Amino acid sequence: MSINQYHCPLCSFKGSFLTFRNRQYALCPRCSSLERHRLQFMILQHVLADKKTSEMKALHFAPESAFRTWFSNIFGEYKTADIEMEGVDFKVDIQDLPFADQQFDFIFASHVLEHIQDDMKAISEIHRILKPGGIAILPVPIVCDKTVEYAAPDPAEDFHVRAPGMDYYDRYEACFSIWEYYSSKNISDIYQPYVYGSSVKDHPLRVDAERLMDVVPVVYR
């Protein structure tokens, strides 16, 4: 594989990926997928491979365009939710959801919990509305060694209320008894699932590394 000649699994583009927010090789020029989308897509295909998705009810928080069409095609019932975004099925606060217990088979909330002040309440709510045997995929951006809580939302970090480290995923253990972790190492480099350019000091807490591994946590009720 030549340098910066990649394959996007979401749209089948083959060629050079573009720089996005100082991150080299991040953006697919055809479908605008980013590193995390390509990693998550490959892991989603693996996790859902033996599931009857046509019989599943799915809820997608802060729905990315990279997944909306695919999710709507594979799931029997697909709903979207956000507290502010227009064009979603439900405008809701993830810390206080209006749904009855055990309503959904699959919940996807990518890069959401780093914005949520009471994230443990949100995690508890996700667990509450998930059916027994249901799956939730809840990645956050891993940007430092150990999670740091901010005194206030940081505008330099898209108003994140914390900088997550790998220890952040320990919080899921309070609600979920089964979990799996997948990372950039689990898929081929041809899909470019790493975060490059993090040595640019755009935030003082960020790990100083030329290439960061991303992580996809999958939890089961």
> Does residue 68 form part of some domain?
yes
The answer to the question of residue 143 being in a domain is yes
- Answer yes or no: is 50 within a domain: yes
The distance in angstroms from the start CA to the end CA of the chain is 40
Evaluate whether residue 67 is within a structural domain.
Answer: yes
Tens digit of pLDDT per residue, the chain (221 long)? 446 799 999 999 999 999 998 889 999 999 999 999 999 999 999 999 999 999 999 999 999 999 999 999 999 999 999 999 999 999 999 999 999 999 999 999 999 999 999 999 999 999 999 999 999 999 999 988 899 999 999 898 899 999 999 999 999 998 998 999 999 999 999 999 999 875 444 555 555 567 888 999 999 99
CA-to-CA distance for 22 and 15, rounded, in angstroms? 19
74: tokens are: 């594979």
Q: Confirm whether 1 is domain-assigned.
A: no
Q: What pLDDT score does 9 carry?
A: 97
- Confirm whether 93 is domain-assigned: yes
The string of DSSP letters for 125-172 reads HHHHHEEEEEEEE------SSS-EEEEEEEGGGTTEEEE--GGGGGGG
- Structural domain including 64 reads 6-220
What pLDDT is attached to residue 8?
97
Integer Cα distance of 92 and 166 in angstroms: 28
CATH code where residue 96 lies:
3.40.50.150
In the chain, DSSP finds a helix count (H) and a strand count (E) of: 3, 15
Q: How many domains does the chain have?
A: 1
Specify if 66 maps to a domain. yes
* The pLDDT of residue 204: 55
